[in-house]
Chains A and B, each alone.
Chain A
Amino acid sequence: AQSVTQPDIHITVSEGASLELRCNYSYGATPYLFWYVQSPGQGLQLLLKYFSGDTLVQGIKGFEAEFKRSQSSFNLRKPSVHWSDAAEYFCAVGAPEADKIIFGKGTRLHILP
């Protein structure tokens, strides 16, 4: 069965600084991988997803993620964060033969002015 781990519960960065949120997954083959963002009072919004091909995936809002098979990781990055990026970020994994995705516990991002 697939699983996903987000090692950092909270991350704090200064506005304008770079960001990397970690995600590790467990699955025997290459799964589908997703990053979602949840802002207060908002539904989850898909930032990006990876199925195959280029291991560097571009998403919305200036985010990107890199799939590394050797490390079973799919870390999310942004070169320069904005105060509006403060939110909770969820990594998710889905097995191709399954019909559901499994979410990590999330990383809450705090932005310092």
Chain B
Amino acid sequence: DTGVSQDPRHKITKRGQNVTFRCDPISEHNRLYWYRQTLGQGPEFLTYFQNEAQLEKSRLLSDRFSAERPKGSFSTLEIQRTEQGDSAMYLCASSPGQGVGETQYFGPGTRLLVL
């Protein structure tokens, strides 16, 4: 068990560019979550997957954001036409089962800075 990994760990981009982040969950975890964390705030839920199905999206997830988990394993989060307000830490978590009671295991995050 190598834990949840995220790539890249840091990303600096210019406003208007597209960026893509990758999350590799713990093997055989069928739930995968994406969160955004800004300075001085706790993680805010963005979306989650049950296997390859995206089951819920937060209203925080504008049309510029898209997430996929094509084979039920790794996931990608893409932000199109980045804005300075997108600067944040993007966290991924996975859990072995369904329901809020299952422990979520977090990755180290991808820190995005939009110039």
Contacts and interface: CB of A to CB of B under 8 A. Distances in A.
Contacts of B55: 99
A98 B3 CA distance: 25
A101 interface: yes
A90 B42 CA distance: 7
A77 B93 CA distance: 25
Given A42-B108, A99-B55, A49 B45 contact: no
Greatest chain B CB density within 10 A among A36, A44, A92, A101 is at A44
Given A46-B103, A95-B100, A103 B44 contact: yes
Instruction: Classify the interface of chain A: helix, strand, loop or mixed.
Output: loop
B107 interface: yes
A94 B103 CA distance: 11
A10 to B, nearest CB: 11
Contacts of B107: 43
Interface residues of B, number: 25
Contacts of B105: 43, 46
Instruction: Classify the interface of chain B: helix, strand, loop or mixed.
Output: loop
B62 interface: no
A46 B40 CA distance: 19
Interface of B: 3-4, 33, 40-45, 48, 55-56, 91, 93, 98-101, 103-109
A57 to B, nearest CB: 13
Contact of B45 (A45, A95, A100, A106): A100
A106 B100 contact: no
A32 interface: yes
A102 interface: yes
Given A41-B108, A43-B106, A104 B42 contact: yes
B4 A43 contact: yes
